[in-house]
Structure 1
Amino acid sequence: MTSAMLQRRVTAFVAVFHEYVSTFGSADLGRDGRRYRKILFFSILEALAKARYPKERSASDAFSRFVVQHCDWSEGERISLPHLVAALERTSCCAFDDLRGWAYSELRGWGSGGPLWLDRDPEKASIQKRWPKEGGNYRNIQELKLGWTALQHRNLIYRYRSKLSHEAREQTMSFEDGLEQRPFYESIGNNGSPHTEWHLVYPTAFLAAACRTGIESLRVWLLAEGRDPYCQFPFGRFLIEELNNPDVPVRHEFS
């Protein structure tokens, strides 16, 4: 394929996705429009992630890599402090005592109110050096079967996407007004409890911006690597992708 032909195919590919973003952002989707819009933006991000990492077996891994590496979202590597505290509340393992004391102190320092941006969350390195190990490997919180990576925003946002897409519901109370460009926390009182509940919000405008940034970043990568975007997907009539893969030969042809 000539470079001019590749340029045309990449340009056509990204133009389709830019049109999707524009259409999804402006369409009248009714009373629950914000929820539907988020689901549609998530579908774009998943398609882009598939185009970038076609051999990644896990859709969640491809998605989390893409939003961090191609959507200009370094905060995706951070660990959600409220989620960390909630996880530590649910383990009796004494190996987590030091981390628990540190995390509780950090969250108390948040006070109440909001919005609070994700730059208040601890960085990955800060948690890695405090998270207990056993035999050279990071421990899991056995009661939850979770490690520290599950608490990173790059993975939490995929869980949020799954709740919206498969259960059609918001997991937390949403305080967005449609203008926020960055994820944030908002606090609410907890039925008279002295402790504050922090609700995590991934705003609609943030997802739209992530789509636009991801599209352009993917464009640059496709051209730099000489990749035809349409060859990143195994096209075919079968719903099981392996059946459409030309690298898997037919050995006993039906006749």
Structure 2
Amino acid sequence: MGYAQAGCTKCTRAHGAPSDQRIAWIINSNACLAFSGNNSSCLANNQRYNKFFGYILYHAARMANMKVYLAGFDVFKPDAASVFASLCSEAVRLQLIPLAPIDGDLPPAVKGVQLARHIFTSNVAKLSEADGVIANLAPFRGHEPDSGTVFEVGYAIARGIPVIGYGVPAGSYADRLHAAMPCTRCEAGLLRELHSGWLVEDFGLPLNLMLACSIDFRETATEALQQLAEQRFVKTKGLGESLMHN
């Protein structure tokens, strides 16, 4: 039976090839459950289509509650609580579940290295349950992003979840470094620090290639959250469609 022949008591129309509108409708409502058996002529007779919609409904339920880890050196700011309250509020507005670093919620009796390990373990646990990450990659105490934030980005990339960086100044990393310190081109045409001779990575990318080639960038935290909110639908649609061809 072809897609156009399968009727659905919930959709009130024939099931053709999946469209963006129908997939978004399913994600938003977790509906279209008639194929479970209410209508023998519905999707129950089409194994591949059932596989598609079953997976979409399962994955949509998870992505509808998308958890986003809020990475960044903002934990060191004097107004850190206010910054994260604002980020969390924006995430909730976009129907995302924010996961803020544990740094601002510390057990008073824990000190020193024990406290550091507590923070590490708690943040990694949050990263492990996250479905996406936004990361403040603005320069921190120098020309590079905060090293702890970079670790969290790498952890997220290793898990295969999307990361959106923000706060990176305009232009390439090489241009910014060249403006901040004396640099020169060597005989081979490579950009190097004038005094040390160290090579400056010069690919026209906003940050080191290992970051720039593994994540997306937006200007602000709000735009980064919006990008993740939009990716919920794209990811669910893409995975569902891949199942249709298996």
More helix per residue: 1
TM-score between the two structures when normalised by the length of structure 2: 0.33
Q: Higher RCO, 1 or 2 (CA under 8 Å, sep at least 6)? A: 1
Rg (Cα) greater in structure? 2
